Structure 1
Amino acid sequence: MAGFIEGVSRDQTVLFPDRLDDWIGEDHLVRVVDLFVAELDFMDLGFSRSQPAGTGRPGYHPSVLLKIFIYGYLNRIPSSRRLEREACRNVEVMWLTGRLVPDHKTIADFRRDNGPAIRRTCAQFVELCRRIGMLSGACIAVDGSKFKAVNNRDRNFTKNKISSRLAHLEADAERYIKEMARLDNQEEGQVCSEKVANLARRQKRIREEIDRLKTLEAALPEAPDGQISLTDPDARAMATSARLSGLVGYNVQSAVDTDTHLIVAHDVTNQGFDRTQLLPMAISAQKVLGHKKVHVIADKGYFSGTQIFACHEAGISVTVPRPETSGNRRKGKFVKADFHYDPERDVYHCPAGRELIYRYTRQEGGLNVRRYWINECQNCELQDQCTSGKERRISRWEHEYLVDEMRNRLGRDPDPMTLRRCTVEHPFGTIKAWMGSTHFQMRRLKNVRTEMALHVLAYNIKRAVNIIGVSQLMTAMAE
């Protein structure tokens, strides 16, 4: 009968290769990291301590610590303490750093103190991809995703949350007082005294919590967005796509090339909505790509008349579905899309074939809106399907031709929204899978932006390698 495979004795002498380089294959990913960092101008990027000090103990060159972090985010190791351990035992990290082992505080301080430089380094790799022809810039998909912060939901406070907690705590405190009074009246002895003392301690803790919540409630009016987060002051409670669910975190924005799925531009905000992010992300993508004409697609959460027109003025065409704010379609009634606009005569044609003519213009939300209606609705056979008022009124934004053009693009094949979903949600899913069930390691918005830049840089490096391979990418870097 055959035995099991047996390992080598721990006492056996082993002849390892004499060079660390022999452990690293020619097409290994760390060679890309090493060459990319070697080509950077650390002074120009703004890294601190790029020049050695004249006195004192020599420090680590920024390239060493940057390599450690890029390797860490490529391999799902964002923690500075874990990176310190990897520098002691991981042959790949030893090869990258020349067997240097910075302590975890030095590693963490580098990430904290060099945020802007790290973000510029991320942009530098995107510029490299553009220079070697990997970014066509034909179409860019924009989307946002919520990422969890260090701050727990129980340490984030809003007016409604504090009011609800105070109501429950006041009820508990009252219940304890009544129970102590009942015990005093009905029971005697040592057991009764212990019960009353225990209830008194609980009631005291509740009163302390009530006082703490009232202090927070008094500070709410001066807090940004009416929220207070105790662990990470910049984190905000945000709704997610899951029904009746939410998290305390940040809203990460990304602009992704639809051909290669490379992240062209990104940003992190603590606003829980996307309406104001279309123009900033489109402009960022336009600058990175170096194209005057850029086509951007986004979901209906980005629909904003002012943002769409500003993109048009900047030479950026956008495709964003218009959200349906009326409930008429669910009621089986006509909606605005059922009314046809005639630009030559400046009238709307209703489903009954009548014309709604222009009446006046007014401002709504900073936009000039034209109003159209007809006075014959009461005699129309389709009135029950159209309106319950005397006349059906239609509003038209003065630049609504841009919305009409977007609607026409949405009706073409292939479907832009399908392209958007298959493009921009892929990087978010990949990065969140790398993060696992954890959250951002750092606190405050500026530091979270640094951490996200490292995630994006790691994603783009892996994506570029998957597209053109290690050798071709390294050849392009060296040119």
Structure 2
Amino acid sequence: MQHITGISRHQMRFSSLEDTISPDNQVRFIDAFVELIDISKLDFAVKTLKTEGRPSFNSKVFLKMYLYGYLNRVRSGRDLEKECFRNMEMQWLLEDIRPNYHSISDFRKDNPIALKKLFKLFVSFLKDADLIGGEIIAIDGTKSRAHNSKKANFNQKKIDKHLDYIEVKTQEYLDALEGNDAKENPSKIQNIQQKIERLKQNKICYKLLEEKLKYSGEPQVSTTDNDARALLVQGQVLEISFNIQAAVDAKHNLVVATHTINRNDRNALSAIAIEAKENLEIETYTALVDKGYHNGREIEACKQANITTIVAQPEQGKNKERISENYLISKFRYDPITDTYTCPQGETLKTTGSWHKKTTDRDSYEFKRYQTPKYRECPVKHLCTSRMAGRDIDRSQYADAVEENNKRYQENPQLYRKRQEINEHIFGTIKRQWGYNHTNLTGLEKVNGEHSLIMLVYNIKRSINILGVPDLIAKLKKWNSPYKAKVLFLLKTEHLKLNLEFFFSSLKLAA
């Protein structure tokens, strides 16, 4: 039987690395993008040349390596080092430079802030390339497992449980020793004294953890990664994780803002919404957000920032008083002119104008209370409330913004349904297809850097799929105004005061 035969392994070939890479290969865009930027202005740790010792690697080498690695689901330093020896694309990209895995890992660990700034710079390029609409943006979060096990995460309840166990077990050992001494022919109890000593050491550790927990003011503490927290992933399922926030533009499903937090979504809306507005340098946009973000203070903050929110309205929980459906709070009409409520029976509930403060585990806000003295005469009081003092309604200081948002949500069901189409795709790609559902870094700042790198790589992959490598490189060259881009970018960072001095001095040099 005839088979296809290969060439001899001993046959000599003459070719260059350039011949092995096609014009539409994604590594060509990575190379063009990294060569364009001035990484020192983005606060990357730049290795300086020394007069003695071995020369250092250019930081751009590691940046190219990580962009290529994350694009191809290779993220560990050791695996990236292997790719330098066996991967023709990597050899072309790095011009056959082969760093040690220690140097590779240190680059990602040492440059978290710079990676976040690089993500923002690429968003600026995408906007100039007309790949971002900036009108409709969907906001959501997803959990990324931390480098910290559940056993290494503690709250006060868990610490108390361990301390109680130690007390009980220690007493058992002491009773066993006492009973053994009372016998005429004492039996041999092996290692019991060592076990008691070990329990004493464990008790000291848990006491130190308790002190650390009280000092931090946090409800929980993690020992492997101090910033990791037990967060709700689904239903009642808890995972030690971080929460990746992402704002995704509706035009091409590109990420325009991202940062990572170690709490749930309830108090996270305004920060990511305002970040998206600043990154795109736009006056306003409409944010589509799920009900997990529904929070009066956050919605009010977005309103003050000129961001139109459509946050899903949570379902009304079960009322302890068993109020009839016809007398829920939504059935009471508020009149902003008279600052009164009108109940379904037509009675008016008024306020004294005094503000009261309420603090819960999740929130703190002020409210006014509305009541009517006619509750005594009301024929349907038993359907409205079981309180002897009659029905009262609390109106939050953020009620106006919340009611405006809820009205928009009810009036725009078709628009809101686009939310899942826009941002669920991103998380599905990153976590399910690429496998980036966890981080091996510790500390919120470093984790932020890695997640910014992941979102940057997603945007690169997505934009290549939309335009293709040659067209994207052409737009990059047209955008090739690095001086302008870097200055605009620096003005958007949190170090505004420090960067202003650089900005004005650069203008003088440019003139």
Say whether the fold is shared (TM-score over 0.5): yes
The aligned residue for residue 330 of structure 2 is 337
* Distance (Å, rounded) in 2 between the aligned partners of 1:172 and 1:427: 50
Instruction: Give the % identical residues.
Output: 33
Q: How far does the alpha carbon of each residue in 1:50-73 deviate from its partner, in whole angstroms, 9 at most, with x for none?
A: 664455432111111101011111
* Distance (Å, rounded) in 2 between the aligned partners of 1:224 and 1:369: 27
The aligned residue for residue 244 of structure 2 is 252
Residue 120, structure 1, aligned to residue 117, structure 2: yes
Query: 1:16 Cα deviation (Å)?
Result: 5.3
The aligned residue for residue 268 of structure 2 is 277
Alignment partner for residue 27 of structure 1, among 8, 24, 27? 24
| CA 370–300 in structure 1, closer or farther in 2 if over 3 Å, else same | same
Q: How far does the alpha carbon of each residue in 1:89-115 deviate from its partner, in whole angstroms, 9 at most, with x for none?
A: 111111110111000111112222222
Q: Per the alignment, in what secondary structure is the counterpart of residue 227 of structure 2?
A: coil
The aligned residue for residue 473 of structure 1 is 472
Task: Give the counterpart letter for 1:467 in structure 2.
Answer: I
Query: 1:360 Cα deviation (Å)?
Result: 2.6
Residue 430, structure 1, aligned to residue 424, structure 2: no
CA contact (8 A) 2:296 2:401 kept: no
Query: 1:265 Cα deviation (Å)?
Result: 0.7
CA contact (8 A) 1:311 1:318 kept: yes
Q: Map 1:372-451 to 2 at 5 A.
A: 372-389=370-387, 390-398=389-397, 400-433=399-432, 436=435, 439-451=438-450
Query: 1:463 Cα deviation (Å)?
Result: 1.6
In the alignment, structure 2 segments of 5+ residues that lack a partner are 359-363, 479-511
The aligned residue for residue 161 of structure 2 is 164
Alignment partner for residue 348 of structure 1, among 338, 341, 349? 341
Q: Per the alignment, in what secondary structure is the counterpart of residue 345 of structure 2?
A: coil
The aligned residue for residue 213 of structure 2 is 220
Task: Give the counterpart letter for 1:233 in structure 2.
Answer: N
CA contact (8 A) 2:430 2:437 kept: no
Q: What number of residue pairs does the alignment pair up? A: 470
Taking only aligned residues, the RMSD between alpha carbons, in angstroms, comes to: 2.9
Alignment partner for residue 355 of structure 2, among 362, 366, 371? 362
Query: 1:328 Cα deviation (Å)?
Result: 2.1
In the alignment, structure 1 segments of 5+ residues that lack a partner are none
The aligned residue for residue 149 of structure 1 is 146
| CA 117–426 in structure 1, closer or farther in 2 if over 3 Å, else same | same
The aligned residue for residue 67 of structure 2 is 70
Alignment partner for residue 85 of structure 1, among 82, 90, 97? 82
Query: 1:443 Cα deviation (Å)?
Result: 1.4
Residue 307, structure 1, aligned to residue 306, structure 2: no
CA contact (8 A) 1:159 1:217 kept: yes
Residue 371, structure 1, aligned to residue 364, structure 2: no
Q: Per the alignment, in what secondary structure is the counterpart of residue 23 of structure 2?
A: coil
Which is worse superposed, 330-339 or 234-243? 330-339
CA contact (8 A) 1:42 1:50 kept: no
Q: Per the alignment, in what secondary structure is the counterpart of residue 361 of structure 1?
A: coil
| CA 378–294 in structure 1, closer or farther in 2 if over 3 Å, else same | same
Which is worse superposed, 326-335 or 246-255? 326-335
Which is worse superposed, 469-478 or 359-368? 359-368
Query: 1:81 Cα deviation (Å)?
Result: 1.1
Q: Per the alignment, in what secondary structure is the counterpart of residue 440 of structure 2?
A: coil
Task: Give the counterpart letter for 2:419 in structure 1.
Answer: R
Residue 36, structure 1, aligned to residue 33, structure 2: yes
* Distance (Å, rounded) in 1 between the aligned partners of 2:401 and 2:417: 21
* Distance (Å, rounded) in 2 between the aligned partners of 1:407 and 1:140: 18
CA contact (8 A) 1:134 1:260 kept: yes
Which is worse superposed, 96-105 or 346-355? 346-355
Task: Give the counterpart letter for 1:217 in structure 2.
Answer: E
